[in-house]
Chains A and B, each alone.
Chain A
Amino acid sequence: MPRKKPEAFLPLKSHWFHILLSLLEGEQHGYGIMLEVLERSGGKVRLWPATLYGSLKRLIKEGLIAESGERPAPELDDARRRYYKLTALGQRVLDLETDRLKQLVRILQAKRKQEAQS
């Protein structure tokens, strides 16, 4: 089955966008993703466990993220935790979604400017 093109994922679901963004800087486990999203959004976006893992499952199936084979040393973290990482497709989709959002903001700003002038 051919894999979807990156454009086919746009517009990206809000939860998916937050998860991909959390994996941008490196591998992360479920709890880490949840905390980062909560912190980044100033407590406004809370990914509850089932929603988070449901999204992780779908992101893996679509090839946007993958489970990392590497585990931290047992003294540093719980070795049973599963870590997730961004794939090349996930990175591309994130870039495209970022561009799309930037474009939307540009349009909005241009409209406001136009309204202010008139």
Chain B
Amino acid sequence: MNFWVSSCQRIYRGLARAFPYEFRMICGDGLERLGEDMVPRVWQQWGIVGIVRLLADIALCLPYEYLSTWIAKLTEDTVIEDLLEGTWKGNKEKSKWDPKYTPEEAYLRFEATDTGYILFAYGIKDGQAVAERPRPIFPDGKRRPVVDLNGRPIPGVPPGAMAYGSRPDPYTIEGWVEADGKVLGGGTYKISEDGNTLTVTSEGMGMKGPFKVVAVLTESSVIPTHPLLKGRIKRDHLLTLDSRYIAGRLEPCFYNKFDGRMAVYEIRDPGEGEAAEAEQS
């Protein structure tokens, strides 16, 4: 190997090792090894021009990678954590439930989307797992038709009903539904300044008539304590109770997200006390 090649390999190695730690964590020593392997080949094929091109590539990418790493760090430091995202558990003592809609346990889960949130409301009522249909909240002021997550009409919602929402301040979002210019219902979701408490004021027309609820919830990573799930769900798994169409009917079920997979537990027959794992995807 001639002096030129070994010198270029040394320079290349030095530059490759100077890349940011974050870069080397992801790419390992692949950059270093690939370049070293290429130097003799490039020298044979293109001579000095190829070597200059190879070194120019790494020398130009080095400051770019540092800049990109610093920008990523700066962005991470300045992005405000979404206060609403996560699971909130109802506080029975502090909440004022409507007598017709008083659950034993209540949970709200907000999942952030590109345009707002998806709200999952679920809990235990009369000893049964219950869940509302998951619904989107768009706090951007735009009016959208009230449909389910699959774009289908929701039974009981008048045709032409439109949903809209706003975020008056970073701690509050509002969501309302109106039809023919008349507000049918909606709610305000307000987070306390310490970020630990969510107060939901909700009113409107439900299946059992008009209702008004003031629910106080605290941030929770605790999974619902439904007896059907005893011993079946690991506590560190992220569990949401949801509803899905089973044989044409909307039935509650539990979604259990872990390791990037999602297991769905249908509650097939509450009387048998069994939550069956239906499918995994």
- Residues of A with Cβ closer than 8 Å to B? 1-2, 5, 29-31, 34, 48-54, 56-57, 60-61, 80-82
> Complex formed: what's the CA distance from A51 to B62 in Å?
10
B61 at the interface (CB under 8 A from A): yes
What is the interface size of chain B, counting residues whose CB is below 8 A from a CB of the partner? Answer: 25
Whether B54 lies near A48 (C-beta < 8 A) is: yes
Whether A2 lies near B34 (C-beta < 8 A) is: no
Considering only residues 24-56 of chain B, those with a C-beta below 8 Å from chain A are 26-31, 33-35, 37-38, 53-54
Contact A30/B34 with A50-B58, A50-B62 known, Cβ cut-off 8 Å: yes
The interface residues of chain A lying within 8 Å CB-to-CB of B38 are 49
Using A49-B57, A50-B58 as known contacts, list a sample of 9 further A-B pairs with CB atoms less than 8 Å apart, ordered by residue number in A.
A5-B114, A48-B54, A48-B57, A50-B35, A53-B31, A54-B61, A54-B64, A57-B27, A80-B28
Whether A56 lies near B34 (C-beta < 8 A) is: no
Instruction: Tell me, rounded to whole Å, the shortest Cβ–Cβ distance linking B213 to chain A.
Output: 28
The interface residues of chain B lying within 8 Å CB-to-CB of A1 are 112
> Complex formed: what's the CA distance from A52 to B60 in Å?
13
B104 at the interface (CB under 8 A from A): no
Instruction: Tell me, rounded to whole Å, the shortest Cβ–Cβ distance linking B85 to chain A.
Output: 10
Whether A82 lies near B30 (C-beta < 8 A) is: yes
Whether B37 lies near A31 (C-beta < 8 A) is: yes
- The residue of chain A having its C-beta at the shortest distance from the C-beta of B25 within the complex is A57
> Complex formed: what's the CA distance from A60 to B25 in Å?
12
Binary A-proximity of B138-171 (CB < 8 A = 1, otherwise 0): 0000000000000000000000000000000000
A-B contact pairs, 10 of them (CB 8 A): A49-B34, A50-B60, A50-B61, A50-B62, A52-B34, A53-B31, A53-B34, A60-B26, A82-B27, A82-B28
- Residues of B with Cβ closer than 8 Å to A? 16, 23, 26-31, 33-35, 37-38, 53-54, 57-58, 60-62, 64-65, 112-114
- The residue of chain B having its C-beta at the shortest distance from the C-beta of A57 within the complex is B26
Whether A53 lies near B27 (C-beta < 8 A) is: yes
The interface residues of chain B lying within 8 Å CB-to-CB of A48 are 53-54, 57-58
The interface residues of chain B lying within 8 Å CB-to-CB of A31 are 34, 37
Whether B29 lies near A51 (C-beta < 8 A) is: no
> Complex formed: what's the CA distance from A58 to B27 in Å?
10
Instruction: Tell me, rounded to whole Å, the shortest Cβ–Cβ distance linking A14 to chain B.
Output: 16
> Complex formed: what's the CA distance from A81 to B64 in Å?
25
Instruction: Tell me, rounded to whole Å, the shortest Cβ–Cβ distance linking A49 to chain B.
Output: 4
Instruction: Tell me, rounded to whole Å, the shortest Cβ–Cβ distance linking B111 to chain A.
Output: 8
- The residue of chain B having its C-beta at the shortest distance from the C-beta of A8 within the complex is B114
The interface residues of chain B lying within 8 Å CB-to-CB of A57 are 23, 26-27
The interface residues of chain B lying within 8 Å CB-to-CB of A34 are 34
> Complex formed: what's the CA distance from A72 to B53 in Å?
32
Instruction: Tell me, rounded to whole Å, the shortest Cβ–Cβ distance linking B224 to chain A.
Output: 24
Instruction: Tell me, rounded to whole Å, the shortest Cβ–Cβ distance linking B134 to chain A.
Output: 15
Contact A49/B35 with A2-B112, A5-B114, A82-B28 known, Cβ cut-off 8 Å: yes
> Complex formed: what's the CA distance from A44 to B79 in Å?
41
The interface residues of chain B lying within 8 Å CB-to-CB of A49 are 16, 31, 34-35, 38, 54, 57-58
Contact of B27 among A5, A51, A56 (CB under 8 A): A56
- The residue of chain B having its C-beta at the shortest distance from the C-beta of A5 within the complex is B114
> Complex formed: what's the CA distance from A25 to B16 in Å?
29
Whether A30 lies near B61 (C-beta < 8 A) is: no
The interface residues of chain A lying within 8 Å CB-to-CB of B112 are 1-2
> Complex formed: what's the CA distance from A61 to B76 in Å?
14
From A1, A31, A57, A81, name the one whose CB has the most chain B CB atoms within 10 angstroms.
A57
The interface residues of chain A lying within 8 Å CB-to-CB of B61 are 50-51, 54
